[in-house]
Amino acid sequence: MAPRDRGGNRLCLGGRAHSVQRSVPGMQNEQGVNAMQEPVIPFGATCTTTRRIVIVSPIPSLLHELVRELTTECYDVMVFHHLDENAVARLSMDLLIVDMTMEQQMPLAELDALALAVDAPAYHLVRPGSRRAADARTILWRPAYPGDVKQRIQSVLQNQQPSSISVVDTGAGEHQLVYKDLTVDTKRMTVSRGRTRIDLTKTEFDLLHALIAADGAVLSRQQLMDQIWGEHYFGGSNTLDVHMKSLRQKLKDNPKAPSYIATVRGVGYRLADG
């Protein structure tokens, strides 16, 4: 039976009693404990606004406390034993959580593919001290207080900006930016090369728009992450690099001889010269 505090609350999210971790980096224990008290939604009330979270775990039963905490806060939670890239691309979601605590772990390349497919923040549940704790892009510790994990998820979603697009009027009644042979329509959120449409995810579109709007100035990785995901985004710059790599591939842009996006080593990105 899982250990409980003096108020009768269960103390751990999965794992055994001896492996309980009493803090999560960057969060107060008191916040997590408070969050585990009575649900904020009164009994019998209904949620008028929800956001969707998808969890992928080989043993979902270990996460039932986290699911309970999230659903009491009006999050729609979908739990899968396994979810491939093609399947996840058909789902609409605000956050993806992948359980990395089991021995059969998903390769990082597959995780990157999932993050690109959903075009939403992707977090990994990992155990402290595991090899994945060092190279995971964005991590949540397990075992941990479900309330702590919930609070971090709330912070990510509350600060996630719906769009970083600003409208630029060309004077002809159209909202377009033109860079070389690319036309960026900020009203329709489309990118075209001549008459050929280039299909981009929202994150890729925001990245391209931010660089063009900067008019050749260098944007640091932190500046780009703040613009795309908000100032309180917890993820590392590797996530940004994954999306940038996908954007370049869709633009058919060679990083070694760029036509559109140039890398400024140790700093960030800017528009390519010429």
The answer to whether 192 touches 182, Cβ cutoff 8 Å, is yes
β-bridge mates for residue 123, sequence order: 97
Phi, psi of 244, rounded to the nearest 5 degrees: -65, -40
Count H helices and E strands in the chain, helices first.
9, 12
Q: Where are the domains of the chain?
A: 17-158, 176-271
Superfamily classification of domain 17-158:
Response regulator (3.40.50.2300)
Note down pLDDT in tens along the chain; length 274 residues: 444 444 444 434 444 333 333 333 333 333 443 433 444 555 555 676 778 888 888 888 888 888 888 888 888 888 888 876 667 767 778 888 888 776 556 666 666 666 666 667 777 777 766 655 544 445 666 555 667 777 777 777 776 544 333 334 445 445 788 888 888 888 888 899 888 999 998 889 999 999 988 888 899 988 898 888 876 666 666 788 889 999 999 999 998 899 999 999 889 999 988 6
CATH 1.10.10.10 given to domain 176-271: yes
Within 10 A of 194 (CB to CB), how many other CB atoms are there? 8
* pLDDT for the residue 20: 32
Q: Which residues contact 70 (CB under 8 A, 6 or more apart)?
A: 53, 77, 150, 153
Residue type, 139: I
Give CA angle at 179 (176, 183), nearest 5°. 40
* pLDDT for the residue 240: 86
**H-assigned helices in 11-141:** 29-35, 64-71, 85-88, 108-118, 132-135
